């Protein structure tokens, strides 16, 4: 498995602010939130290799009552 890659990402200020609020709601850093969203998008598009596929997060609608 390859290590983490570093790169510069420039974002619109409003986009960053929205990501920052969403990350705080999910108790993640902005970096972790972006990685989570990218993984979810790639998984949905079938673009992740099987060896790199993380376990899907629990769905909010599937909680037992």
Structural domains counted in the chain:
1
> Which domain, by its residues, includes 18?
12-47
In a domain, 29, yes or no: yes
Whether 57 is in a domain gets the answer: no
Q: What are the pLDDT digits (tens) for 20-58?
A: 999 999 999 999 999 999 999 999 999 987 665 555 655
Q: Is residue 58 part of a domain?
A: no
- Residue 59 falls within a domain, yes or no? no
Residue 13 has a pLDDT of: 98
Is the residue at 21 inside a domain? yes
Residue 52 in any domain: the answer is: no
Torsion of CA 18, 19, 25, 29, to 10 degrees: -150
Residue 34 lies in a domain: yes
36 within 8 A of 44, measured Cβ to Cβ:
no
Global pTM exceeds 0.85:
no
Q: Quick one: pLDDT at residue 42?
A: 94
């Amino acid at each position: 498995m390859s290590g983490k890659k570093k790169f510069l990402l420039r974002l619109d200020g409003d986009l960053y602010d929205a990501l920052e609020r969403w990350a705080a709601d999910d108790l993640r850093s902005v970096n972790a939130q972006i990685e989570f969203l990218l993984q979810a998008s790639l998984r949905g598009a079938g673009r992740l290799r099987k060896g790199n596929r993380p376990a899907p997060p629990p769905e909010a609608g599937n909680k037992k009552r």
